[in-house]
Structure 1
Amino acid sequence: MFTRLKSFKSLQNQWLPMAAAAALAFGAASSAQAAAVFVEGGDAGETIITAKTFLGSGPIDAIQGTLDGDADLFAIYLTAGTAFSATTTASGIDYNFFDTVLYLFDAAGKGLIGNDDDGVVGGSQSTLSNYIPTVSGLYYLAITGAGYTPVSGGTPIFPSLLGQGGNVAAIGGSGSLTGWSSLTNEFGDYEIQLVGASAAAASDVPEPGSLLLAGAALGAAGLIRRRKPVTPVQA
């Protein structure tokens, strides 16, 4: 009896530290795996000047918000050489119960890539996959409903995304985002899951005055293009 009791206590003394270590390890793993979810918190704007910026440090694993028939634009930080992906395909039924489109713009608002139907025939969700930025800094991620098109001075920034899977590049030579055209009947709660995106430091965000000046310059450039007289073609 004494021998068995001693053996049990010996095993107990060995097992308790191991259990405690396992519990600590599990807790650390659970903490490390907790997703960094950022919430829209008020309507995000649909231009570079009015985009929602998440300030802080560390990754952005997901963005949750609500779309009301317009576009929501978010400023995120991307690191050169680190692959970036964004998708609306991996969330539960509480989100993305409508036809989404995703766009990525650079710091100046110039279009980079877009995706509508994720390459799935009849699909309604979107994925930007493995885009590798060459410059570290602010980028702008937009979500909208199908049919709402980003423009620069009235000119589409992207070709038609219908039926095109994967990352669709912006039209070469297109200018910076100045607005959106057409209409969309798509709306609802969304969740965009991200890889390779981080919150922005305050030092990364341009002063509001410089953004207003940039927006005014883009608007003026659009007016100049529209007012330029047309030279008739000689026979």
Structure 2
Amino acid sequence: MGRELLCLPVGCVLAALGASALPLFAAVAAVPVVGRWLRTRERVRARDRRATGVIELCGTVAGELRAGRQPGEALLSVPSGDLGERWGLVSAAARFGGDVPEALRRAARQPGAEGLTGVAACWQVAVDEGAGLAAGLDRVASALRAEREQREILRARLAGPKVTVAVLAVLPAFGLVMGAALGTEPLHQLLHTPVGLGCLLGGCLLEWAGFVWLRRSMRAALAPGKAVGR
């Protein structure tokens, strides 16, 4: 429980202004919804940090290998802050002579760290066939950078619809403020009349449908394998 608890004081203020308990009940119901949204945002940020960390890992290990260090030593020189909690398995395997490719594949199961599967494949080929690990890591890093740039382009193109939906979602609040300034008591009309309650329910359902549509559209657009139109 964190910032989502701010819904409760907002609901108390609206309940006091509208002389109704409905805003307070709505605020209590909104707490888990807002909390889930905040946690989803944090997971997305963590996924992006892991994806960036994998790209940096490839560049760091390739540079250390060209400088003459052994693969295990090069892997241990990588900062583990953005690679997730499973990176400890990889560090332990590299330090104590374990199965590094298998540890990399396990770490790749974390959201955003899927690129470690390519690192594991390069490591396996380098161990079994003596191929150049640094060159393989460079190719993996290039592919991951291209994928990240594609996602950034898609997100930039989706920024316009996101702003539009956010503005449309906030407009009813401005309408209530303007109505209160004109002395029409909009909260009383919404919370104490059948027509107002019906409009309030219908508006909330439309708001919810709009957010669900936006979320599904963005998830489909950002799905792996989506091509960016030029």
TM tier, smaller: under 0.3
Greater strand share, structure number: 1
Greater helix share, structure number: 2
**Greater C-alpha Rg:** 2
